[in-house]
A and B are shown apart, each in its own frame.
Chain A
Amino acid sequence: MSKDKKTVTTVNPRTASRRKFMKGLAGTAIGATLAGKAMASANSKKSGFLTIHSLEEYLQKNYREMTKEEKAQVLARMEKEYSERYGKDVKVKDTEPIDGVKFTYALDLNRCIGCRRCVYACVDENNQSRENPQVHYIKVLQFENGTMDFEESNRYYDPEMVPEEGKYYMPVQCQHCEKAPCVKACPIKATWTEDDGIVVVDYNWCIGCRYCMAACPYEGRSFNWGDPHLPAEEMNPNTHYLGNRPRMRGVVEKCTFCIQRSREGRYPACVEVCPVGARKFGDMNDPTSEVRYIFEHKRVFRIKEDLLTEPKFFYFFG
């Protein structure tokens, strides 16, 4: 146990305060705690819930308050840390939104066969914890034909083959609401809506209170109840600060429309993997885009519209 304690600096939320932490640093503990632990992997099971790997990490500002230089420093520190931890050349980008773009998603319920290819393509792309905790951004709900009662939906279906007779499937993920209740709920502004409409989380600023999860009517957010388990060989080294960089214990994460891909013009991983082409993605402000065509020519709906969250995720029947 004591060995575990030495591998990582942890902050006990019951007793933590900035003053005590700084005081602690000033004392003799500084050499023993920080120098040896700076890049250690987060293995500690007890002694507090949040994990901090270095003084720089503890003192890091909210992403939106960082200057360009500070961002560059943070990204460089993270690249070094992740590269050492995963044994590969990890890139952490901070690609900015493209001017005038409003990302929108559309999903064709007539096409979806419930094969869950999207769920696992997402996990692979976005470096989610594979198990304990298992983090899936996409939940594929199975409904009886003619119903749409979420309470009665089944996400654990496991037949030999899909689609099944008399059922239909509705994948649900973060709906990237225009009026996102999760953003309103966050007491410390660790989550916000970017200019291109993507709702993002600053994992380093998140305190793990999970108010956002309680506020979200779509189960769009997941929580790291323990140290994420991400095998080094499966780690995707092409990451974004606000997207798929490795997360830590005690923080909330969510779909970012694959921010590391979409801001470079690529389709999100779930769009590219879908074998039936049910998933459509693009810029609603572009009159020639696929999503705009769907919006103008198809009958679209958004789930739980009555909550006035105004999702940028549309469902349609193609």
Chain B
Amino acid sequence: MNSTEATTTSTVRDAAAARPRWQVLLIRPETMTLALLIGAIIVASNLSPFFSDLGFILESSTYYIEYALVALVLTLVIISGEIDLSPAAMMALSACVFAWCYQAGVPIELSMAASLVAGILMGLVNGILVIRFQLPSIIVTIGTLTLYRGLAQVLAGDRSIGKFPKWFNGIDYRLVFDVPVPVILFIVASIVLALVLGTTVVGRQIYQIGTSEVAARHAGIRVRRIKTGLFVLMGIVSSIAGLLTASRLASVRYDMATGGELQMVLMVMLGGTYIFGGRGTILGTFLASWLLVIIATGMTVANIAVTSQLIVMGLLLIVSIIATNAIYARTQR
């Protein structure tokens, strides 16, 4: 059908021939992330004989999986053309709210609910500042990241709050089919968010907003509502990540997850999400999270100095951004 049309109307047609299907499928940023992941596994296995132990890798992954969980939602935010740099601070403040309530005698279930409410409110503040007041999200969330961290310090002071009941502590050591609970949570969240982004109307709308917000608005997409919703979702997932961290450490301090926002952005970028919005996938962030886990764990167990680890991470980020840009520039033509 198509080919006959092409021959008969060849005079009007000026578009290039469609790219072969294998190219469309294969030349994607996620392919690069997957290749890096496989490469990292091979290198790490060679660096140390102690690396190739799934139980150990899963145990070590729990130190990064809290960030990875937040990075999934951050992927949606970045695809929609915004950014949120405050999630690590939201983790800290919501966890401090939890610990403070618990210490004040509130039942632990209610304290956890209070932490979630705090997360929703913090996300809402970000959303309102960005959407209602039309401020750049990078500036707003740099501001709130400092504000939330400061409030956490006011609430918790300089000490750590702990002595939670036994059942609350150590969620990273509860295993379901030999997999730690936080990792299960991460995998489930990945599948759900990938389905939302890839198969639902809202998912398509998020891509459209990121590609062209003006066009999306004219097409009748409720841009403000969706973006505000994404910021609130950031608050919720940050609060969950904060509680996971509190359970893992069995204590809460205001400096929880300091600098975590950079790791989260690193995961999203390494996964091939386009920093200016409109492109990216949950699969990419999922693979990148494991890439980060493998690199950090592999180098630590091989006793490689941290300075070298930082250099590797930095180089990876630069390579991934260049590759992502090149691939998108290619496929855009």
A binds B: no
List residues of chain A with CB under 8 Å of any chain B CB.
none
